[in-house]
Each structure stands twice: as C-alpha cells, then as structure tokens.
Structure 1
Amino acid sequence: MYKHILLAADGSKHAETAAKHAAYLAKGDSNAKVTVVYVVDAVSSKHDVISSGGNGAYLEAVRHERIRPIEQILEEEGVTFEYKLLKGEPGPTINRFAKEEEMDVIVIGSRGLNAIQEMVLGSVSHKVSHGAPCPVMIVK
C-alpha cells in the first residue's frame, strides 16, 4: 500500500481529521511512515515572530505545539511518524517536499486555519491537488 505518507497539518480540526485518515493508511503496512508537515508562510511567520518577541526557541515550540494533537492521534494509533517544519507558500512547498521525498500519497484537510487566505488565494488543498506529484486525499 502506501509506505511514505505526507500529512499536511496546520493545527486545524480538519487537519486532525486528516490525521485519522493518514493513520488508517499507515496501518495498512507495518513499514509505513507518516511525515507530518507544517508549513509556515510569510504572513504567519511575521505574526509569530512579533508575538514571540523574536525568541526562536520559543517560536519553534509554539509552532510544534499546534501540531501536538495530530501527533497524539498518530501515537494512539501506533503509527510511525516524524515532524517537519517547512517555510514558504504552503501549496507549492508541500508539493515540492512530496516530490523531493518521493511520497506515495498526500493527506490534507479540506479547510485550514487561514480563512482569509483561502478566500483570496484559493485553498491550500486545491493548490496541492493540482500540483502534486502523487495521489492526494482531501479529507472533509
């Protein structure tokens, strides 16, 4: 089945639902691994830096904490996973990472945390589905 599963996550409820589906896919193969990818774009990065007072270690911890519920889902399901923090525009960055890492499938929630960006620029899941180098599962 799928051995290399990319789970795009932003800390939203839709990402948590996507994590359950990624876990289900991973449980189909004992050698499967989920890579949880959190992408920081320029807008959220600027906000995060200002709110953290420029403390890099604190900032990394806050960003990772947003993903903690998703990691808990994967841990509870007994799935092997790793966490990657990437920087850039989410859609293209996810697709580039999926290609570089030869992912078998991308699992992503249909909606994320940034509703304004979604309305103006189009959803991240839409951009991922149109540029992905592998199958994409969009979870509602």
Structure 2
Amino acid sequence: MSFTNILMSYDGSEPSKKALEKAIALTEQNNAKLTLLHAYHVPSMVSTHPFLIVPPEYMTSVADTENLIVEELRALVSHLPNAQAVVANGQPAKVILDYAKEQQCDLIVMGSRGLGGLQELVLGSVSHNVVQHAPIPVLIVK
C-alpha cells in the first residue's frame, strides 16, 4: 500500500518519538508529504467566582512551550522536501481527526501512549479514540 499524505501526531512522549522515526521512514519510502501535528489542550477553568482570571504569564508559557516543540519538529524533518510541522489547540483526538480530514491525509501515524496521565484513565487514550473514529488507516507505533 502506498501513501501520499501522511499525518503524524507528536506529543514528545517516547512512543511518539518512535512513531516519528516510522513516519519519516514511510515518507521517504513513498515520497509522500508529511505533516507533524502537535495538538495540545489548555483545559477550561470553571469557577463560581466572577473574578477568576488566567494569568497572562501562564498563556505565554504555554505558547512558548508549544512553539519550541514545533521548532524541534521542523528541525527533525528539515531534510524532507515535503514536510511541515504545525501546532493546534484543542482536544487532541478531535484535532487530529479534523486535520486529517481537512488535509485529505491517507495515513495517520502516532504513538501507542502519550502524555495523557490521569486524563487517559478517565477519558480513554487519544490513540484509541483516533483508531475508533478515523476513516483512514492509523498506524500505532509501540
């Protein structure tokens, strides 16, 4: 099976780093386009107090961290002519699925486990959610 437009979901975890190696190899083998997507989620804060304010420093810190990850990804794929790295805020599984659909990707590559922690125990893993809802092949790398 040949792929032409590969989406790789990256979160910085060890399985994600292994998945990145596989995505790069598939991209080179198929002379495909590769998009590295870093999806992150800033949780909403709910309060009954009318003066709850998220400190601007927090949002700046989040943005700085996400930009550093994207720059790292761009450096890792700079040798590939058809590769790009993007970052998006939102529920990771939904962001991945929506991006794959919008960009007409024909393969999603991702690690088996990410950085979800407690959220994964409560809500289920991002990789599981993507596998269950993706209309295209999903390669899970352990």
TM bucket (normalised to shorter chain) is 0.7 to 0.9
TM-score (norm 1): 0.81
Q: Find the counterpart in structure 1 of residue 35 from structure 2.
A: 35
Residue identity (%): 33
Q: Which runs of 5+ in 1 are unaligned?
A: none
More helix by share: 1
CA distance in structure 1 between the partners assigned to 2:26 and 2:38 by the alignment: 19
Q: In structure 1, the residue corresponding to 2:131 is in which secondary structure?
A: helix
CA distance in structure 1 between the partners assigned to 2:127 and 2:13 by the alignment: 13
1:29 deviation in Å? 2.4
1:62 aligns with 2:79: no
Query: Structure 1 residues 69 and 14 mapped into 2: Cα distance closer, same or farther (>3 Å)?
Result: farther
1:20 aligns with 2:21: yes
Q: 1:11-60, CA deviations, whole angstroms, 9 ceiling, x for partnerless residues? A: 11111100001011101123x121111112132x87xx7584443xx643
Q: Which runs of 5+ in 2 are unaligned?
A: 46-53
Q: 1:108-135, CA deviations, whole angstroms, 9 ceiling, x for partnerless residues? A: 1001112111111000000000111210
Query: Structure 1 residues 51 and 124 mapped into 2: Cα distance closer, same or farther (>3 Å)?
Result: farther
1:103 aligns with 2:105: yes
Q: 1:58-116, CA deviations, whole angstroms, 9 ceiling, x for partnerless residues? A: 643321323555444434xx333111111211112211110111001000100111211
CA distance in structure 2 between the partners assigned to 1:40 and 1:133 by the alignment: 22
How many residue pairs were aligned? Answer: 132
Q: Find the counterpart in structure 2 of residue 6 from structure 1.
A: 7
Q: Find the counterpart in structure 1 of residue 140 from structure 2.
A: 138
Query: Structure 1 residues 42 and 59 mapped into 2: Cα distance closer, same or farther (>3 Å)?
Result: closer
**Amino acid of the structure 2 residue aligned with 1:42:** V
